[in-house]
Structure 1
Amino acid sequence: MKTRDKILDTSLELFNEKGYGNVGNREIARYLNISPGNLSYHFSKKEDILIHLLNEFRDNNSNYYNVYHQGVPSLDAFLGLMKNIFHSQYKFRGVYIGNQFVQMDVASSGQFDYVQNASARLENFRQIFTDLVAHDYLKASESGIDFLVSFISLFGRFWIQEVFLLQTENDEEKIIRHYLKILKKQLSMFATKKGKKSIKKFSLKNFIA
């Protein structure tokens, strides 16, 4: 593995374990047994590591959305999309937006437009829910779609923070199944008969009661 990739992997591991604000470049270098100068050759500032990881996080999620959009809309497929997104958020939890130190460094760098990315995601969700209504998986008016977009925006941002605030479970699969269960129950309130069958299909495949 190249030194640059080792730096990124180790940084993410340390950010996840200790929090972004509690890890500095010297600690990353010490953990890798390389000199601070060697690290700064690849990344002159910690913020550069952060931006690279955030871009990787964004690109991973974009790939998941692209795969979803290439298929036929269904609640089974949508819940599968969210399962992948939750795993991605868990993997990058140490740099996931919501951390005040991350927010400050993102804002000061000018290299990652969080507002633009967040706005694009909301429009994406609006289109997804609109398509699910059109394909008879959801029954929702415009205000219902507005509610679902707001719900998924809040839920998608804050579930991961609740996990590490409460720290009652360390098993990633169990954690994500728990939050998928909450999500599918919310969706079931808007689901048509066809939609409920699609949710059940996802539940059976993923062992979610």
Structure 2
Amino acid sequence: MKTRDKIVHAALELFNEHGERNITTNHIAAHIEISPGNLYYHFRNKQEIVRDIFTLYSEELIERFTPIQGQQESLVMLKHYLDSIFTLMWKYRFFYANLPEILQRDNKLHDDYILVQEKLQINLINIMRAFVELELLTVEDEEMKSLVTTLHLIACSWLAYQSAMSPDSKITEQVVSQGMLQMINVVKPRATELGMEQLLLLEDGVKAIHA
């Protein structure tokens, strides 16, 4: 792995473990046993590292939430998207936990974030329409954007909400899974009989794995 990539991955690990605001470039350099000067050869400051992590996150986000093409079993599709939510929230948990603060201090990153989220919302609406066509959900077209926005809001703010409610608690996989269960609960009232069966299977799977 190239030094630049090592720096980014080390920063992600440390930010997740200790919080981004508590980690300096010196911490990152020491973690991978390079000099601060070597780190500054690749990145002028910590904010540039955060931007690189955001690039990795946004690429994975759009890839995971690009509507699946071709015939797929509906339960497989639901599980894929639910697993993607968990993976992203856990892998980039520092970003979800401190999103407003991170964006407020970097206008360019904030602009990039908005562009990515606009693209994501289009994909999410198309995914939701696919579930309606599969007769898993009953959602009128004019309600689609509102439902997607609610789910998106839970995903983006869940970890920050948990941190605010329990400031001394540590973000764990179980905390992330609780956010997933909250999203399932939001969708349940829109589910058809078939959709409810599959949502309950997914719910049981989340509870069993992350209990």
Quickly name the TM-score band, shorter chain normalised.
0.7 to 0.9
Q: Quote the offset at 1:118 in angstroms.
A: 0.9
CA contact (8 A) 2:135 2:195 kept: yes
CA contact (8 A) 2:16 2:93 kept: yes
Percent identity (aligned) = 24
Corresponding residue for 2:133? Answer: 134
Say yes or no: does 1:54 pair with 2:54.
yes
Say if 1:170 and 1:26 are closer, same or farther in 2 by CA, change over 3 A: closer
Corresponding residue for 1:117? Answer: 116
Q: State which drifts further: 5-14 or 59-68.
A: 59-68
Q: Deviations over 1:7-60 (max 9, x none)?
A: 112211222233323333233223333222111112222222111111111122
Q: Which has the higher contact order (CA 8 A, sep 6+)?
A: 1
Say yes or no: does 1:82 pair with 2:82.
yes
Residue 116 of structure 2 aligns to a residue whose secondary structure is helix
Distance 2:49 2:72 in 1: 37
Q: Quote the offset at 1:188 in angstroms.
A: 1.2
Say if 1:126 and 1:57 are closer, same or farther in 2 by CA, change over 3 A: same
Residue 94 of structure 1 aligns to a residue whose secondary structure is helix
Q: Deviations over 1:145-164 (max 9, x none)?
A: 23311211211110121233
Q: State which drifts further: 56-65 or 188-197.
A: 56-65
Say if 1:96 and 1:204 are closer, same or farther in 2 by CA, change over 3 A: closer
CA contact (8 A) 1:21 1:101 kept: no
CA contact (8 A) 2:97 2:160 kept: no
Q: Quote the offset at 1:82 in angstroms.
A: 2.8
CA contact (8 A) 1:76 1:199 kept: no
C-alpha RMSD over aligned residues: 2.8
Corresponding residue for 2:146? Answer: 147
Q: Which runs of 5+ in 1 are unaligned?
A: none
Number of residue equivalences: 207
Which amino acid counterpart does residue 200 of structure 2 have in structure 1? K
Q: Deviations over 1:46-94 (max 9, x none)?
A: 2221111111111222232247455537366235313322321221122
Relative to the length of structure 2, the TM-score reads: 0.82
Say if 1:22 and 1:2 are closer, same or farther in 2 by CA, change over 3 A: same
Distance 1:17 1:66 in 2: 29
Q: State which drifts further: 141-150 or 37-46.
A: 141-150
Relative to the length of structure 1, the TM-score reads: 0.82
Q: Quote the offset at 1:206 in angstroms.
A: 3.9
Residue 183 of structure 2 aligns to a residue whose secondary structure is helix
CA contact (8 A) 1:20 1:101 kept: no
Which amino acid counterpart does residue 52 of structure 1 have in structure 2? D
Which amino acid counterpart does residue 7 of structure 1 have in structure 2? I
List aligned pairs for 1:14-33, cutoff 5 A: 14-33=14-33
Say if 1:70 and 1:116 are closer, same or farther in 2 by CA, change over 3 A: farther
Distance 1:67 1:143 in 2: 20
Corresponding residue for 2:7? Answer: 7
Residue 138 of structure 1 aligns to a residue whose secondary structure is coil
